[in-house]
Amino acid sequence: MSHTTSIVKYYEDLADNYDNRFDNQRLEYMRSVENRVLLNSLKPGLILDIGCGTGEQTLFLAQKDYQVIGVDISGEMIRIAKDRVNNAGLNDKVSLILASAEALPFKDNCVDGLISIFGVYSHVPNINIAIQEIYRVLHNGSLAVITVVNRWNLTWWVKTILNAKGRWLLHALTNKEYTLNGLWTYYFSKSELSNMLKNNGFKVSIGCLLLLLYPHNNRKLYFYEKFFMRFEDKVRWLFPFNSLGYYHLAVFEKK
Ligand SMILES: C[S@@+](CC[C@H](N)C(=O)[O-])C[C@H]1O[C@@H](n2cnc3c(N)ncnc32)[C@H](O)[C@@H]1O
């Protein structure tokens, strides 16, 4: 099975449980940061949401009066997003399309912004082609905001070292990709992501997301995690913290 086929299957199987599974206070914080950055970065107009999933950001932006086209490779995720859009009465603001980030079915220079949140481009095998597609569809001077999984994320490394998981540590030191339950994931270092975007013509800023918080921890927040959030808000775009989050938050402009 190719990476793409197994990624589609993974999300088709997960779709009905997706919104319950990714629901904890650390992710709520992550969503609040992402939403703030989206509103600060995006010009009014037409926005593409690549890997829109069940419509989290599509709905958020439509409620803020953007015109949004959600794109996803999974028909099941699109089906759920459509139900949510209908229920919210936002049909006039949103279109949803089954397509891949590697071949966007849009004309050149046709959108005012592009977003892709929660690691979508970490699951795109032909990443260079997908980045060229972002460049092609954006207007000059427009911004894209994406998050991808970081190879050097502090919380994973600390947790794995403390648990003495030698085999995983060795794998992560010698590989940039990993497949779990059929979900192929590529892990970017900050410099790799930054160079790839710059080489494709973008002006790039990269910040960290979930610096000291572990996204898969579903327990209630420990009191000190609120301080972690405040600290992260202060250092998000500063070296070396901007290299160490669980996710990279990249904001880049078509020059
Ligand atoms: C982790 S979910 C993110 C969904 C949403 N953006 C969010 O924040 O909840 C990743 C989504 O990317 C989609 N996806 C994966 N590869 C894709 C590709 N090549 N093109 C478009 N969508 C893709 C998956 O089907 C899934 O819905």
Domain regions of the chain by residue span? 3-254
Which pLDDT score is estimated for 26?
97
* Positions in the chain whose pLDDT score sits under 70: none
Q: Whose CA is closest to atom 13 on ligand 1?
A: 51
Q: Which of 56, 51, 40, 68 has its CA nearest to residue 4?
A: 51
- For a ligand 1 pocket test, name from 120, 122, 126 the mutation site with the most ligand atoms within 8 angstroms of its C-beta: 120
Which pLDDT score is estimated for 44?
96
- Whether the CA torsion 193, 37, 235, 140 is positive or negative: it is positive
Lining ligand 1 with CB less than 6 A are: 7, 11, 50-53, 56-57, 71-74, 77, 100-102, 117-120, 123-124
Q: 3-254: which CATH architecture?
A: 3-Layer(aba) Sandwich (3.40)
Strands of the sheet with 111-116, listed across from one edge: 94-98, 67-72, 46-50, 111-116, 138-149, 247-254, 202-209
68 in Cβ contact with 58 (< 8 Å): yes
Q: How far apart (Å, rounded) are the C-alpha atoms in residues 184 and 191?
A: 21
Quick: pLDDT tens for 4-41: 999 999 999 999 999 999 889 999 999 999 999 999 99
Q: Which two tokens stand for residue 215?
A: 């996204």
Which pLDDT score is estimated for 1?
77
For residue 223, the CA-to-ligand 1 centroid distance in Å is: 32
- For residue 237, CA distances in Å to 36, 206, 233 come to 14, 7, 9
Which pLDDT score is estimated for 124?
97
Which pLDDT score is estimated for 23?
87
